[in-house]
Chain A
Amino acid sequence: MEQVFGNVALACGLIISLGAIGACIGISLMGGKYLEASARQPELMNELQVKMFILAGLIDAAFIIGTGIAVWFAISTFLK
């Protein structure tokens, strides 16, 4: 049983951390591009901001789904 606990803990850590790496790189790339774009064309700032938030939600999706599943695994294993 201890080995199952350890494996589930490792798996949940991997699911969340790898997803977080991807989501963070994605968000930072997009945020940087957004700042560059709005420095170049400040009049587009509001329009771009809305699109950026939508994309932030989309980029987050895989990570959040992974987190939800990992938390689900963790709860069903550790909180029995």
Chain B
Amino acid sequence: MSTGHEAAEQAPNAGAYVLHHLGNLNSAGHPQTAIVDFSIINFDTLFFAILLGSAGIFLLWRVARVATAGVPGRAQAALEILIEMVGNQAKGIVHNEQSRRFVAPLALTVFVWVFLMNSMDFLPVDLLPALWQKISGNPHAYLRVVPTADLNGTLGLSVGVLLLCFFYNIKVKGLGGWVHELFTAPFGNHPLLYIPNLAIQIIEFMAKTVSHGMRLWGNMYAGELLFLLIALMGMAFPSLPIFGGSLLWLGHLITGTLWALFHIFIVVLQAFIFMMLTLVYIGQAHESH
């Protein structure tokens, strides 16, 4: 799925190719070396996430504006199916009518947004990076196009959901009620159990948030890497005699197509799961023990 411009021009080894594609366009100008570094901002993740978020909202707004009560067009029908699906899931999980007025549209937005961000994986892996290298005039410019294959992007989303959970906990139970729950659930109301209860609650919130974000990231990161490896396979064709080389080239087309087809399933499923977990976590914030 890749033409490998970059490799043809400078003929780097496989490792340099993959590493270069896993480097973000960030404020440091080189890929991040420390595991945690809050001083670096990944411009590419931010740019594509905001761009796709706005595109998704714009698309929904356009369809909603021309919606009719008569015979719906195809776009309207598709959107109605989507809204009904999300609405039904929200109804089954969040039992508070008033919160649902905010949470159901939130779930729809999350689904559309995550789906669009995941879909960036379908673009050929070298297309946008090569374009960016041409535009910026720097043949070594870094660019990653899949915001959800960047751990910062997915953890950002899941931390947003965590903050919403805190908000609804406080809103539904009151600050006092929530603090009471933090210290008395799940083991029971006894002074000796306050500390274990709080520890379990903290672990629960952390596990939820981390697994929420990392589940999406892991899927997209592994998928992106497989696309890179497939592109490498196609790129290796000049290194072999004509028969073996054309087999490699053909192989990269076939495996790339197969993986892209399978990836459609993963992309939709992961977006759906992200949305469901958002609903489930916010729904849990409404339940009192």
Residues of A in contact with B (beta carbons under 8 Å apart): 53-54, 56-58, 60-62, 64-69, 71-72, 75, 78-80
Verify B218–A67 contact, CB threshold 8 A. yes
Q: Is A54 in contact with B222, judged by CB distance below 8 angstroms?
A: no
Q: In the complex, how many angstroms separate the beta carbon of B149 from the nearest chain A beta carbon?
A: 9
Q: What secondary structure prevails in chain B residues at the interface with A?
A: helix
Q: Is the CB of A64 within 8 A of B219?
A: yes
| Interface size grouping (class) on chain B | 20 to 34
- Closest Cβ of chain B: how far from A44's Cβ, in Å? 15
Q: Is there an interface contact between B272 and A54, defined as CB atoms closer than 8 Å?
A: yes
Contact A68–B217 (Cβ < 8 Å): yes
What separation, in Å, do the CA atoms of A13 and B225 have in the docked complex?
A: 17
Chain B residues closer than 8 Å to A53, beta-carbon distance: 269, 272
Cα separation A78 to B225 with both chains bound (whole Å): 15
Residues facing A in B188-247 (CB within 8 A) are 211, 214-215, 217-219, 221-222, 225
Instruction: Kindly report which residue of chain A lies nearest to residue B220, judged by CB atoms.
Output: A68
With A75-B22, A78-B15, A79-B19 known as contacts, the answer to whether A64 contacts B222 (CB < 8 A) is yes
Q: Is the CB of A57 within 8 A of B218?
A: no
Q: Determine which of B219, B221, B273 lies in contact with A54 in the assembled complex, contact meaning CB atoms within 8 Å.
A: B273
Contact B211 A57, beta carbon cutoff 8 Å: no
Output the residue of A53, A56, A58, A65 with the most chain B CB within 10 A: A65
State which residues 238-289 of B face A: CB under 8 Å. Answer: 269-270, 272-273, 276
Contact present for A54 and B214 (CB under 8 Å)? no
- Residue B18 is within 8 A (CB to CB) of chain A in the complex: yes
Query: A65 contacts B18, CB within 8 Å?
Result: no
B211 CB, min distance to chain A CBs, angstroms: 6
Contact A64–B218 (Cβ < 8 Å): yes
Query: Do A61 and B215 touch (CB < 8 A)?
Result: yes
